[in-house]
Structure 1
Amino acid sequence: MWLAIRFILAQQVPPLALSRYAIPAPIFGPGRKNQLIFILSRLGIKHRMLIQAHWRKSMAQDLIRRATRALRRQGAFLSGVMLTQSEEKRAAEAAQFWSESENNETIKDKSHWRGFGRYADDDVWLKIGHTRLHELESLLALAGRGPAQSMIEWGPGGGSNAVALAPTMQKFYGVDISQANLDECGRQLRSVGFTNYDPVLVDPANIDLVKDACLAGIEPVDFFLSVAVFQHFPSKAFGLEILSLANRLMKPDGVALIQIRYDDGSIRMRAKNSNYRENAMFFTSYKIDEFWIAAEERGFRPLALKLMPEVCYAYYFLAKAGSQAT
């Protein structure tokens, strides 16, 4: 109300009118309620109506601001926390989103394609694979086993990990929901002379078909890798299904490196339930201990954990349960 009067007096009431009504000043000091009554009683009907109209508008805007803040505090906003879509709908949106890497330069960047967006700088792109190579060396040392000869990368994208890791392997499988990503990964592998690459295209809308395609087309491997992928899955449940499948696709002494986005309690990092396109970068997350326990329950032996708090990344260094360091 006081802001409304201040606005009206500053913008709408002519100086002569103020002097004619002999309005005291300051009007916002002690005893302002009595001053308000005095002001309203001395102003003409036109100015009283202006004050009332502006006051109603200000009150409405204030209510909207308060309601919006309250909804955000509770996490009940339309970007995926309050509303829930079916698993099939979310999976279809995810498949459509990542398939656009064929023509959309923004999606190419998000899929780690060489020469696009952040990866116009070739050194930045190559550094991704070099980092994975060092992590694999650490993982093998933790597991107490020799070099890996075969691997699966779940979500190879534009091949940034593949070009560094595949040349150290005899066999490389790439599993992705985007044919364009699989093709680009193959192109990058050929550029470094690696040809023993089997791409596997899967449809996230049907987890049973995903399992069938992988179990039928992939021989058990020494190493399972998935980095910057679990956070883009259409649901937490889907991610846990892939975690179980990963264990089935590994040899008895196999190892795995899986990175997730962890839930730090903030709205941004909370797992979402709808509007995949708007939330693709932060769609699925887990509590740190939640994923550790889930890995144990699905046949893994956690060896180590690396955290990157600035982006809420957690890297799980895993061995297949039953395998022991030698």
Structure 2
Amino acid sequence: MSVIGSARGLLREAVDRTTVRLGLGDSEERLAHDARSYWTEGSDLPTWRGNSHIRDAGIFNSVDWAAVGTEHWKLFARLANVAPSGSFDRVVEWGCGGGANAVAFAPHCREFVGVDVNATTLAECAREMAATGTPFTPVEADLTDPEAAVEQIGQADLFLCLYVLELVPSPDYGLRLMKIAADLLKPGALAFVQTKYQTTDRRTASRRHRYRESTAASMTAYPIDTFWTDMTRLGFTPESLYLVPQNNLDHRYAYYLLRKN
């Protein structure tokens, strides 16, 4: 990288940090528009395949792709006290990407519904799911109007949203997805979701500015108590919280097991 390029990168980071510190940022509409551009038109960008959890992405040269979903199933089963042979009728995953979670949860459901904003990732997830024998229903959602997909998705017995909520344009957008989860789930059904958690370090706060390739994976974070309270307001009873300060993909992961009231 040239000296000028490095200087520009440092300047952008300084602007981002200042924006976070002052609580400033782009409008919800601008953030959603920029996010849609990245996720629907950015498949040639270096980070896109990794952020989408496509099996052949470069990051999975050193990280076991299948283990991502397997570890999520094991954690869910432990938190929810589900037997290894436990099964659900319809599992809905918002942000299924390349199918790492779908493949791991497939043996434990009768139908898996994968929701994503890109037809390419839905096709990749369908290809991975074909080997499992579990019926797969793809649903393409509009990132700027996720609520429009609700009728097509249908009711769920388990809702998953993993490695997604840190990628959404803003905290408010993430709460829109969780409102959708509450609307889809049957009373007493479970949601297993993950966020990045915000600490007292201001650098861990949501950016709210310049959604782009280099910041997508750290765009949104929630203080743990705030997210917990928001979930109760949306009609969930939080049952478990599990923190992962760091793993081989990233850091500051918070996993929540939520039950629909």
How would you bin the TM-score normalised by the shorter chain?
A: 0.7 to 0.9
Whether 2:84 is the aligned partner of 1:125: answer no
Q: Which 5+ residue runs of structure 2 have no aligned equivalent?
A: 1-10
- What is the TM-score of this pair, normalised by structure 2? 0.84
Q: Distance in 1 between matches of 2:46 and 2:109?
A: 30
Whether 2:158 is the aligned partner of 1:179: answer no
| 2:136 corresponding residue in structure 1 | 197
| Residues 85 and 169 of structure 1: CA distance in aligned 2, closer, same or farther (over 3 Å) | same
Q: Spell out the pairing of 1:74-85 with structure 2 (5 A cutoff).
A: 75-77=17-19, 83-85=24-26
Kindly report the root-mean-square deviation, in angstroms, between the aligned alpha carbons of the 2 structures: 2.5
Q: Distance in 1 between matches of 2:178 and 2:95?
A: 13
| 2:40 corresponding residue in structure 1 | 99
| Residues 85 and 97 of structure 1: CA distance in aligned 2, closer, same or farther (over 3 Å) | same
Shift of 1:73: 11
Identify the structure with the greater helix proportion. Answer: 1
Whether 2:188 is the aligned partner of 1:253: answer yes
Whether 2:259 is the aligned partner of 1:313: answer no
| 2:6 corresponding residue in structure 1 | none
Match of 2:204 among 254, 269, 274: 269
1:87–1:205: 8 Å Cα contact kept in structure 2? no
Shift of 1:74: 11
Q: Deviations over 1:173-231 (max 9, x none)?
A: 1111222111111111113333x21111122223xxx22321x1122111100111001
Q: Distance in 2 between matches of 1:266 and 1:80?
A: 10
Q: Deviations over 1:8-39 (max 9, x none)?
A: xxxxxxxxxxxxxxxxxxxxxxxxxxxxxxxx
1:303–1:319: 8 Å Cα contact kept in structure 2? yes
The 3-state SS of whatever aligns with 1:138 is helix
2:97–2:116: 8 Å Cα contact kept in structure 1? yes
With 278-287 and 96-105 compared, the bigger mean Cα shift is at 96-105
Q: Distance in 1 between matches of 2:115 and 2:158?
A: 14
| 2:227 corresponding residue in structure 1 | 291
The 3-state SS of whatever aligns with 1:230 is coil
Q: Deviations over 1:229-276 (max 9, x none)?
A: 001111111111111110110111210111001111324311112110
Q: Work out the percentage of aligned pairs sharing the same amino acid.
A: 33
Match of 2:91 among 151, 154, 162: 151
| Residues 189 and 105 of structure 1: CA distance in aligned 2, closer, same or farther (over 3 Å) | farther
| Residues 98 and 181 of structure 1: CA distance in aligned 2, closer, same or farther (over 3 Å) | same
| 2:28 corresponding residue in structure 1 | 87
1:224–1:256: 8 Å Cα contact kept in structure 2? yes
Higher relative contact order by CA 8 Å / sep ≥ 6: 1 or 2? 2
Q: Deviations over 1:141-176 (max 9, x none)?
A: 28xxx6322111011111111111123211111111
Whether 2:219 is the aligned partner of 1:219: answer no
| Larger Rg, first or second structure (1 or 2) | 1
Q: Which 5+ residue runs of structure 1 have no aligned equivalent?
A: 1-67, 322-326
| 1:241 corresponding residue in structure 2 | 176
Q: Distance in 1 between matches of 2:118 and 2:200?
A: 31
Which residue type is aligned with residue 265 of structure 1? T
Q: Distance in 1 between matches of 2:203 and 2:127?
A: 35
Match of 1:140 among 59, 80, 94: 80
